[in-house]
Chains A and B, each alone.
Chain A
């Protein structure tokens, strides 16, 4: 599902970042771990086909991302990728349902109100469809953002620091929801995090080296090396 080898990326004027290889099957979970500045964001941007890789090989959902043009990359992302940002970025001007509708607009796909209703209902927030984001609680907003990420039934869901601002109970609940939702839609889940509770959650749930949970450690020195 996600396969990398000798993956490199370089910011202008800086030494290249080298990433360890991964090979994650469809439906599995990948924990992208490391402290701030270790290159997690860069790895996410590469996997989302937002930036071109400098060297190496990166295949996501059977697609060699280096082979995509910029326009093709946008279309590919719309179809295959769901994204749950840390700050949820629900558009304040639009209702919950309209926020989800943005995904159809962005992907140039016909609006499908029934699918929006179904996904919202599956995440237990069906009754919030006509509210504005300002009227939602934190937990409700996260469910809505997750609904937006899985609306197009992507093969891959990227979650960026999903537990960063949550207390222990809420973090546990959020991870359960995230993992459960990814499983339900058959999506591979990538969680970028520096939060030890995330690793602990997946250890506890699936055993020490659980089947289907892969971890990619990005040490701090890589970043230090990169900017040296």
Chain B
């Protein structure tokens, strides 16, 4: 019989105590697992969606709003900017690429994004069916959109005005699905992509039909607008001067996604600190409970342990036996905690419909989760230290003669 096997048997000789301790420790670890998962998935989702975009240029307003609306597609955009002004950025030697983004319409809640072919290229997403658009009014669907709406290549639909569900339909300008993207886990999964000219086409017809007081005729091409542009630099050094140049000398605003996302994570971090403190309290309670359980186990089994000394087991071996019992509790609690944490994560993703916003989901095993078993073993070993020490020094014969 090995020390591990023996400790296992002793743990389960008090099943209720063992189950309660594993549960308590497991719940503490589950909340830590959950926090780690949320943090790592948020960061991963943000990093993926930034996809090498150095700066976003759009209308003046909140820089974070610009990033949230144009890169992460969570918020509405601050306003429109002139397409001509955005296109002119290409002449700047610091700028390698300018990708226009035009928002404003949706289909069943999924954003229709007018852009250039460089946008899907930026994310390196391939097609699962059909092809990319080559003319206006053709759309390519993100994988989630295609799956949830059951749309396939060749089908048509008409967009609605605004970014949420809206009754104001552009019925006279239907879109045709020409391709569907492979799932990539990025923001593209939940977007409907089309050529930027489609948006102009839809809205120019729209304005003609409605005959608005200030839009009695189609916009001339030089007045065309986009919501923003995603910009990649030729050199990282551009980050020093380009945004300031935009912000001070033009009517546009430049916002660096990396900077804004860091700010956002920091703001979220204040909230998770409270949760982290709560999880630490849970762990402390669990540690105390394991301590009490082992302490009582040692008291109950003092004579049994003394007999092991009589059989020739050195004190260190007795102490190791008790530490191993704690180790088992920690190990079981780790497994339970990790599984429960993943389950919480799945439940959260399901309940909040996060799949449609930030692509949070369970079943990810980031390296940070190694913290969970480390904590479990640390807490249980710490809790076992004093009882083990008590077992280490016991008066063998007195205990054996007590009755």
Could you tell me if A71 and B397 are in contact, using CB atoms closer than 8 angstroms? no
Is B156 close to A, CB under 8 A?
no
Is A107 close to B, CB under 8 A?
yes
Could you tell me if B9 and A105 are in contact, using CB atoms closer than 8 angstroms? no
Interface of B is mostly: helix
Give the residues in chain A near B303, CB-CB below 8 Å. 87, 89
Could you tell me if A89 and B10 are in contact, using CB atoms closer than 8 angstroms? no
Supplied contacts A93-B12, A103-B311, A107-B311, 17 more A-B pairs, CB within 8 Å: A44-B397, A48-B310, A77-B312, A78-B312, A79-B312, A86-B400, A89-B306, A89-B307, A98-B9, A103-B312, A105-B1, A105-B6, A105-B313, A106-B308, A106-B317, A107-B313, A148-B311
Rounded to whole angstroms, the CA-CA distance of A76 and B312 in the bound complex is 7
Give the residues in chain B near A89, CB-CB below 8 Å. 303-304, 306-307, 400
Could you tell me if B312 and A86 are in contact, using CB atoms closer than 8 angstroms? no
Residues of A within 8 A of B (CB): 41, 44-45, 48, 50-51, 70-71, 74-79, 81, 83, 85-87, 89, 91-94, 98, 101-108, 111, 148, 160
A51, A79, A83: the one within 8 Å of B310 (CB): A83
Give the residues in chain B near A77, CB-CB below 8 Å. 310-312
- Given the known interface contacts A93-B9, A93-B13, A106-B313, the answer about A50 and B397 at a Cβ–Cβ threshold of 8 Å is yes
Interface centre among A89, A98, A104 (most CB of B within 10 A): A89
| Minimum Cβ distance to chain B for residue A43 (Å) | 10
Could you tell me if A92 and B311 are in contact, using CB atoms closer than 8 angstroms? no
Interface centre among B310, B396, B400 (most CB of A within 10 A): B310
| Minimum Cβ distance to chain B for residue A84 (Å) | 10
Rounded to whole angstroms, the CA-CA distance of A79 and B309 in the bound complex is 13
Could you tell me if A85 and B400 are in contact, using CB atoms closer than 8 angstroms? yes
Rounded to whole angstroms, the CA-CA distance of A89 and B401 in the bound complex is 10
Give the residues in chain A near B401, CB-CB below 8 Å. 41, 85-87, 160
Listed A/B pairs (9) with beta-carbon separation below 8 Å: A41-B398, A44-B397, A74-B309, A74-B313, A76-B312, A89-B304, A89-B306, A105-B313, A160-B400
Interface residues of B in 307-355 (CB under 8 A from A): 307-314, 317
Give the residues in chain B near A45, CB-CB below 8 Å. 396-397
Rounded to whole angstroms, the CA-CA distance of A45 and B396 in the bound complex is 9
Is B210 close to A, CB under 8 A?
no
B10, B12, B313, B403: the one within 8 Å of A86 (CB): B403
Is B108 close to A, CB under 8 A?
no
Interface residues of B in 1-38 (CB under 8 A from A): 1-3, 6, 9-10, 12-13
Give the residues in chain A near B13, CB-CB below 8 Å. 92-93
